[in-house]
Copies of this chain bind each other. A is one copy, B any other.
Amino acid sequence: MGGLLHYEDFPAGEVVTYGAYEVTAEEIIGFAAEFDPQPFHLDEEAGRASILGGLCASGWHVCAMLNRMNVDAYLVRSAGMGSFGLEEVKWLRPVFVGDTLSIRRSTVERRISARRPEMGIVKFHWQVLNQDHELKLDARGFNLFKVRGRG
């Protein structure tokens, strides 16, 4: 466990960037068919005809992409204890085919649980940007990590 990231490894105020998620038409359509079957997520033509202006990813799909980048960047090598939720999600701009997404993560605040002193609660602010630094999604939420040396 010693080599895993713990609560102590996420200091408040830290800002890090990571990820290079390439968004494809196949993936947009595949996710939408399963979880968000609305025309502008399923069909190029319908996307162009909509106010969104092109085939674009479901907002929930963009959340899932954010999570995948978080897993790869830190969750998979952390002494994680899951999450109890999100404080806010803003879908600011549509994510289109050809976008390459990355994350800018800030640690907003953190504290050790009063009831469970082995558990640290870290509040992150995640921003999802594309290759042109357009801000696509803005979210705030929590990850739980073990406190080092407390089991």
Interface residues on A, range: 20 to 34
- Whether a CB of chain B sits under 8 angstroms from the CB of A1 is no
A25-78, CB < 8 A from B: 31, 34-38, 51-52, 58-61, 63-65, 67-68, 71, 75-76
For A39, the closest partner residue in chain B by CB is B76
Check A89 against B86 for contact (C-beta < 8 Å).
yes
- Whether a CB of chain B sits under 8 angstroms from the CB of A151 is no
Using A37-B76, A88-B87, A91-B84 as known contacts, say yes or no to A60 and B59 having CB atoms under 8 A apart. Answer: no
- Whether a CB of chain B sits under 8 angstroms from the CB of A111 is no
Distance between A70 CB and nearest chain B CB, rounded to angstroms = 9
Contacts of A71 in B (CB 8 A): 36-38
Contacts of A63 in B (CB 8 A): 60, 63
For A69, the closest partner residue in chain B by CB is B35
Check A64 against B35 for contact (C-beta < 8 Å).
yes
- Whether a CB of chain B sits under 8 angstroms from the CB of A149 is no
A69-116, CB < 8 A from B: 71, 75-76, 80-92
On A, residues with C-beta under 8 Å from B are: 31, 34-38, 51-52, 58-61, 63-65, 67-68, 71, 75-76, 80-92, 141
Q: List 30 A-B contacts (CB under 8 A).
A: A31-B64, A34-B64, A35-B64, A35-B65, A35-B67, A36-B64, A36-B67, A36-B71, A37-B68, A38-B71, A38-B80, A51-B81, A51-B82, A59-B82, A59-B85, A60-B60, A60-B64, A60-B67, A61-B64, A63-B63, A82-B91, A83-B91, A84-B90, A84-B91, A85-B89, A85-B90, A86-B86, A86-B89, A89-B89, A89-B141
